[in-house]
Every structure is written in structure tokens, then in C-alpha cells.
Structure 1
Amino acid sequence: MIKKMLYVLNIGLWLLLSCSGGSDDVSPPDTPKDIIPTNLTVTVDVLGTDTNNPNGDGSGVITVSIHADNADSYGFKVESQQEVKNTTGVFEYTFTEGGTHEYVITAFAYSSTGNEISTFKKVTVYVASNDLQLVWSDEFDTDGAPNASKWGYDIGNGCPDICGWGNGEKQYYTNRSDNVKVENGMLKIIAKKEDYQGSEYTSARLLTKDKYEFTYGRVDVRAKLPSGQGTWPAIWMLGANIDEVGWPECGEIDIMEHWGHNATVVSSATHTLSCSGGCENTKVGETVVTDYASEFHVYSLVWNEDQLQFLIDGDLKYTYNPATKNVTTWPYNKSQFLILNVALGGSWFTIDPNFSEVVMEIDYVKVYQ
């Protein structure tokens, strides 16, 4: 009887203890809880970035800094490349593709329990061509007149041979300091309204003819353009054989042209026997640049035996590459010289009657081969 009562008591005690746990699920004390990274931030610094080089100094080097709360390791990758990991969250990477390109950077943060979060960021990087060397330049570091060993001038209004320089221009070109000078590290071409030698306007046109002529390479010109109805600044080139074969057989390359009456449009163009002046299929590339007069931009030409590429701030804007290259379409296998000028007026547009003076500023001209 006593044994039977003890058995019943034991059964009752077991049931009481079982019920006292309720429905709560108690995890074993040695099972870790998930740790989730939070507040993921990514900073991308492009080496050499400043107001003059918004996409870097051309080295292609970036530094990526990644941080998140509750993270003990980090990952980084460019586009679809293999992920790289470390515990600091600081990564350095070098892009090698020439030109200016946008890339997607993906960042990861990992916790000690293997949980992760990720985000991405876009970055634009400029990489200078590594196979070219600087062969000629003028950085306008000495105040006064431009370097006479590098620059000559066109003087006058084009008469009697090509009055108005073939375009109905109204300015008289001079080499006076009133119209051209180097000051504070800048070449300044000054176009102004004044009575001079029978003309109502003056300006300057500099050229490297008979001083520096070249075939193929890259040209970079960093400039800030003038504005106003009737202004016509240009950075361009002509074939060195122009005196022998004439224009347009010599070939013309317009790296940058801007007309004040079409204010936000910057143009690049080619002129050849097959297409010059106002022909219906004039080879022209146009780009909208709204801050052309308030900010400096680098206007570039990449010229090789196959094509002409026109760039602004390292971005490709226009390519001339005719399918058939002959004397009519491709005079660009011979030397050319550089020209910098500001014209006023033309046969198809007028000058603002209130015009007084404008300046084109040029920081440097560089030729690479």
C-alpha cells in the first residue's frame, strides 16, 4: 500500500513539474543570438580630385572606406569582379581603363555570426592614357606677352585676300597687350569694341604655324570661354600645308567652337574637301555645357591614323572616322598647327549693340604623343 502511494506521488510530482514550464521555449544557454550589422556607410575618395579635376588626377586610384555598427569584417568589389575582404574596411583600388568612366562599387559588412548587409555607390574616375608623353606645352607662367618662340599671330581683318576671314567677322586682330597677354598664370585673349584701323572691334588670334606643327597625338586645352551675343571663341587646328594646297584641302580640326547666340552649345567639327563650311552633312559634334563661361573645362582632341576623337573633361563627345579615307575625307595624315582666337560677328549672326569687352582665359595647352 505504501509503495503504491509513493508511486502515485512520484507521478503527480512529474506532471506538476512538466506543466510548470508552460509553452515557453527555452534555448540552450550555449546557442548564440544573431548579430545584425547596421548603419552601413561607404566613402569613396578619388585621388587628386579638386575643382580643376573633378574625376581625379588621372592616376585612377581610389580609396574606399566602409563602416557599420556590429560588424567585424568588410567586403568590397568593383562591378562584377571578385569580392575582396578585410577587417579594417579600408580598401585601395586602381582603375586602368583610359578615359572617364562610371563604375559601381559594392560594399559589404559582416558580423561575428555571419550575418551581412550591403549597399552600392557609383563613382566616376578619370584615367590618363599611359602610353603618351608630354611633348609640347605652354602653361603661361610668365606674365607679359605670350612666348614668342611658341606663338605667332594673324594680324588684320583678313583683307585683301579673305576679308572678314572668310566668315564675315568684324574684328581686327592685333598682337597688342590690349588684346592678348599672360597674367596670373593665364593667357587672356581680349575682344573689345573700339575703333581701330577702320574696324569697330579688336581681338587676337595666336597660332603655332612654323613654330610647332605635329601629326597625331592628344591635345588638351583648359579654358574658360567668354559669353555674349556675337562672340565666337575657338580652339582649333589647320594643316601646315595650307599655303601650298589651300583650304579646305589642308584639313581643319575644330577642337572647340562656341557661338554666343547659341549659348549653352559647344561644338567640335572637321572640314575637308568632302565636307566644309555649310555643306548639308558637315561633320559636327555638339555638346551642352551650361557653365562654359563660369568654369574652366578641358577641351581635348585624340588624333591617330584612324580617327579623331573630341572630348570635354575627359568625356568622349564626338568621333570622326570616315569609312573611306582618301584625299577628300582624310587630310589628317599630315602635320597641323594650333590656333587660339576670339572672333566677333559673322555673316549669319550679329553682335550685341551693347557689347563692350570679353575675355577668353586659357590655363594651359598641352600636346602628348
Structure 2
Amino acid sequence: MDTGNSYYGRQQPGASHDSTMAPTPQRPGSPSGDSGRNPFGDGVDSQAASQRNANPFSSPSASRPPSSFDSSSAAGARYEGQRFFHSRRVRKGEVEKPWTKNVDPKEKWVTILPIIGIVIGLAISGFLVWDGLRSVVKHKYCLVLEENWDNGVDPNIWLKEVQVGGFGNGEFQRTTGDDTNIFVENGNLIIRATLEDDARLQKNFTIDLLEDKTCTADDYKSCIAVTNTNDGNSSVVPPVLSGRMNSKPGASIKYGRVEVTAKLPEGDWLWPAIWMMPVEDKYGPWPTSGEIDIVESRGNNYTHTQGGNNIMSSALHWGPDPANDAWWRTNVKRAALHTTYSAGFNTFGLEWSQKYIFTYVNSRLLQVLYTNFDTSLWDRGNFPIADANGTRIHNVWEEKGGKNAPFDHRFYLILNVAVGGTNGWFEDGANSKPWLDGSPNAKKDFWQAKDRWLPTWKSPQMEVEKVMMWQQCNGDEDL
């Protein structure tokens, strides 16, 4: 140990008072200003302590980057090198701009050519938009029907269909002309499904619409229904009452537009429809003369396998015979957006010309089904050469119609609420369906399960606010 510079020793004889030897250190907590001094003499703690004493809220010196000090490093050693992040402002006239003195005449084209390109591009885009708008067919329409039910159900326009035969679909309802099932309430047409008297299904009973002359059909099966309780007999009268009406007496169109504003029913196995049938069977019985389904739906909720009241579908029916109905080639579904079609009113529309048919919901921009007639439906159908019996199938539209046959003659509008059916609209086994389509007991099985489906009938009716029909009247409808 060098005793001449001892840390704890006294001043040695001969030593100057100006000696740089460190004094005796103070104890912690001493009021002396040197209490933060580093006894090893490196100067770092002294500088940090000095700054802490000056500003108790400042960052410790050791944690600050060197660039934060004006001219010293974090360790306190001063140097005269270039400062970090040093910059200066460029003064006007200090930087030469040779391009302002020697202008190349070709440089202007660097600006002119892109501007010319933009102008040409805008001109071409404008022409394409104009040409597209010009090519859109704009038909002239003449009003045929504006029905808001101010005068009730006008029999000069509407026919209430009264039948018991299931309308070819094995439907379970009897349609009536009674005010119970078709009536106007609060300015809206109501088509409501109700229950048949249970006694008529529990004992022998006959409904004969021919006898009371109310049947709107002319065949026996559509006008007479029987409950037969004899052993082994499954016959029952339709277990449900409902309504169906059409505009055949007073409103039909060949090409044009249709809009129906309606709210669809809510309840299991209800089957609402807004659709069109031909005034005359120009090409023969269904489906050779066509059918236009603007909207069909199911009253079941969204859990139904085939879609419930959250789904609507549009379809065209066409073909040389019922076994070769090509509806599946022209069938489209549309889901309601975060709601159901039974929750409120929607406008279901159809636009139909000699060149196309399309359906829509609420706006023509929200198309559901679109079918054009650029190719004949016969070619599009790709029908077999012969039917199941070996009878040759021929083009039923070739002689009398064009590419859009059978959708080239007058159609009328139908509004109805059906219930059940045996044609596959409600798939067997789906969502605990209580009957089988092929069973002779289908109607009876449905009725016996009413404790399951009747509680779901929260709104077993279709409400129709307005019906609009326009005829295309350009004068060139058959072009």
C-alpha cells in the first residue's frame, strides 16, 4: 500500500495544502456537497449527482444518450468533435439549379404525354358508359292494375278460388271465399289459414262444392272431399282452410312488370306464393304453357333444411310434360338480410319482355332470378328423346312459338297461402315433418300432429299492401 497517498491517513509531512489528494470521505447523510462523490475518482457519479441536485425530476445522466448533452459524453469527458444530428438550413442562392438555365425542349413532353393519355382514357371510358346505357332496353309501360284494396276485393278483377283438390300438389287446405280466410283489414288484403272443424275429420263427412255451386273448378276431385272412418280407409276432408285468389277476370299481361308489396306468413308447413299462370294453355297442359313463380317461401323458421321464412325463391316451370319440368334450370333463392320475409313488408317484382325475365326484391338492382332468351328453352332444356313410356318427345313450342316460348303469351297473377302438400316442397324427414308424401294417410298424419305445428303459427297469413301491374306497350313487343 502506498502510505504517501493513504485514503484514511493524515497529511504527510511536507505535503502541500494544494495537494490533489482526496479528503477524508463523509459518512452517508452528511450535509457536505461532496456526499455524492465517487471515492474512486472517475467523475461520473459526481456529475450525475450534481444534475440530480439541480433538477430532481430529470433523467439520470447515465441513462441519457450522448447526443442529449451539448458538448459532453455521458461520462462527462469533453471533446471537440462534430455534434450528433447537426444540420443547417440551406439559404437561397447557395444551391445551383442548372436545369433553370439550360432547358431541354423535349422535357415538356414528360408532362404533356401523361395528360394526353389521361384525357384519352377518360374519353374512352365515357364512350363505353354511354354505349352501355344506350344499349339498355328502356321499355314503355302502360298501367294495367293499381290495387290498394280501397274498394275491398273487387270481383270484376279478382276471383276467389274455392276448391278442395289440392291444386295438383296434394295441398292440405280447402280454399274458401269466406271473409274468414280472405278479407281486407287496415287497408291490407289478408289471406289467412285457419283450422277445419275437428268433428268433420273424426266422423264420416262430405264436402260437396258442386252441390252448393261454389266450386271454381269443373272436375270432381277439385270439388268433392270425404271423410271415411271405415276400417282401412284413410280418406279425410282437408284439415285446414285458407285462401287463394287470381286476377284472371280483370288483369293480365303479355310482357311487362308486376310488383306485389306483401308480408309473408310465419308458421310451420305454411306455403305462401305470388305467381302467374297462362290465361290460355296455348301449348298444352301444365307445364307446356309455362308458369312464373315470382316468390315462394316456407313458413318454418330458419332451421328448416330447405330454408324457412328467411328464404324466398323464384322459378320458371316449363317442359314437354310434368315428368320433364325443367324448373330446376331456372330456379334461384335469395336470403333476407338479417331478418325474415315474415317480419315486415317487401316488394316482390317481375320484369318480363320478349328477350328476358327477371325477378327482384325491393329494388330492380336486387335481382333474384334472371333468364334470357338468347337460346331457345327447348335447346336449353336438353330433354330426353322419349318419356318413361317410350313415347317420343317432340318440341311442343317449335310450330307456334319462338325462343322465349312458352313465355310469349298472356299470364295472370295468383296470390295464395297453401298448407302442406305431397309434391316435395317440404322434404320428407326434414325438421320432423309429420307426414310422408307417398303415404295415403298424409293429410290425416298432418292433422294428428297439430299439437306440434299449431303453436308455431304466430302469423298464419299473408298480408298484401299493394299490387301493381304494367303492360309493356312499346309497339314492338313481338320483335
Question: For the superposition of Structure 1 and Structure 2, which TM-score range results when normalised by the shorter chain?
Answer: 0.5 to 0.7
Q: Which of 129, 141, 164 does residue 157 from structure 1 map onto?
A: 164
Q: Which amino acid aligns with 1:183?
A: E
Q: How does 1:1-369 map to 2 (within 5 A)?
A: 131-142=140-151, 145-158=152-165, 164-195=166-197, 197=207, 198-242=237-281, 245-260=284-299, 261=304, 262-263=307-308, 264-274=310-320, 282=328, 283-289=330-336, 290-313=339-362, 314=364, 315-322=366-373, 323-325=375-377, 327-328=396-397, 330-347=405-422, 348=424, 349=426, 350=433, 353-355=452-454, 358-368=460-470, 369=472
Cα deviation, residue 366, structure 1: 0.3
**Identity over aligned residues, as a percent?**
31
Name the SS for the 1:242 alignment partner.
coil
TM-score norm. by structure 1 comes to 0.59
**Change in 2 beyond 3 A, CA 1:280/1:237:** closer
- Distance in 1 between the 2:287 and 2:171 partners? 18
TM-score norm. by structure 2 comes to 0.46
Cα deviation, residue 165, structure 1: 1.4
Q: Which amino acid aligns with 1:251?
A: G
- Distance in 1 between the 2:192 and 2:240 partners? 11
Does structure 1 conserve the Cα–Cα contact (< 8 Å) formed by 2:314 and 2:331?
yes
Does structure 2 conserve the Cα–Cα contact (< 8 Å) formed by 1:140 and 1:187?
yes
- Distance in 2 between the 1:280 and 1:333 partners? 17
- Distance in 2 between the 1:277 and 1:365 partners? 33
Task: Give the aligned partner of residue 19 of structure 1.
Answer: none
- Distance in 1 between the 2:323 and 2:275 partners? 15
Name the SS for the 1:354 alignment partner.
helix
**Change in 2 beyond 3 A, CA 1:217/1:199:** same
Does structure 1 conserve the Cα–Cα contact (< 8 Å) formed by 2:266 and 2:460?
yes
Q: Which amino acid aligns with 2:463?
A: E
Cα deviation, residue 278, structure 1: 8.0
- Distance in 2 between the 1:239 and 1:176 partners? 26
Aligned pair count?
246
Cα deviation, residue 276, structure 1: 5.7
- Distance in 2 between the 1:343 and 1:302 partners? 25
**Change in 2 beyond 3 A, CA 1:281/1:187:** closer
Does structure 1 conserve the Cα–Cα contact (< 8 Å) formed by 2:294 and 2:359?
yes
- Distance in 2 between the 1:325 and 1:318 partners? 15
Which structure would you say has the larger Rg? 2
Cα deviation code 1:173-209 (max 9, x no counterpart): 0011100111111111001122374321010100012
Cα deviation code 1:1-22 (max 9, x no counterpart): xxxxxxxxxxxxxxxxxxxxxx
Does structure 1 conserve the Cα–Cα contact (< 8 Å) formed by 2:277 and 2:411?
yes
Cα deviation code 1:10-43 (max 9, x no counterpart): xxxxxxxxxxxxx89999xxxxxxxxxxxxxxxx
Q: Which amino acid aligns with 2:409?
A: K
Cα deviation code 1:24-68 (max 9, x no counterpart): 9999xxxxxxxxxxxxxxxxxxxxxxxxxxxxxxxxxxxxxxxxx
Cα deviation, residue 147, structure 1: 1.2
Does structure 2 conserve the Cα–Cα contact (< 8 Å) formed by 1:266 and 1:288?
yes
- Distance in 1 between the 2:293 and 2:259 partners? 13
The answer to which of 328-337 and 213-222 deviates more is 328-337
Cα deviation, residue 285, structure 1: 1.1
Does structure 2 conserve the Cα–Cα contact (< 8 Å) formed by 1:190 and 1:360?
yes
Q: Which amino acid aligns with 2:461?
A: V
- Distance in 1 between the 2:350 and 2:410 partners? 14
Cα deviation code 1:61-120 (max 9, x no counterpart): xxxxxxxxxxxxxxxxxxx999xxxxxxxxxxxxxx79xxxxxxxxxxxxxxxxxxxxxx
**Change in 2 beyond 3 A, CA 1:256/1:81:** farther
Cα deviation, residue 249, structure 1: 1.8
Relative to its length, the structure with more helix (as a share) is: 2
Name the SS for the 2:193 alignment partner.
strand
Cα deviation code 1:145-178 (max 9, x no counterpart): 41111100221212xxxxx211111000001110
Does structure 1 conserve the Cα–Cα contact (< 8 Å) formed by 2:318 and 2:327?
no
Does structure 2 conserve the Cα–Cα contact (< 8 Å) formed by 1:141 and 1:184?
no
- Distance in 1 between the 2:351 and 2:280 partners? 21
- Distance in 2 between the 1:305 and 1:275 partners? 23
Relative to its length, the structure with more strand (as a share) is: 1
Q: Which amino acid aligns with 1:147?
A: D
Q: Which amino acid aligns with 2:273?
A: A
Task: Give the aligned partner of residue 12 of structure 2.
Answer: none
Task: Give the aligned partner of residue 13 of structure 1.
Answer: none
Does structure 2 conserve the Cα–Cα contact (< 8 Å) formed by 1:248 and 1:271?
yes
- Distance in 2 between the 1:155 and 1:135 partners? 26
- Distance in 1 between the 2:253 and 2:144 partners? 10
- Distance in 2 between the 1:281 and 1:186 partners? 32
Cα deviation, residue 212, structure 1: 2.0
- Distance in 1 between the 2:280 and 2:270 partners? 29
- Distance in 1 between the 2:319 and 2:158 partners? 28
- Distance in 1 between the 2:144 and 2:290 partners? 23
Does structure 2 conserve the Cα–Cα contact (< 8 Å) formed by 1:240 and 1:250?
no
- Distance in 2 between the 1:281 and 1:220 partners? 22
Aligned Cα RMSD in Å? Answer: 3.1
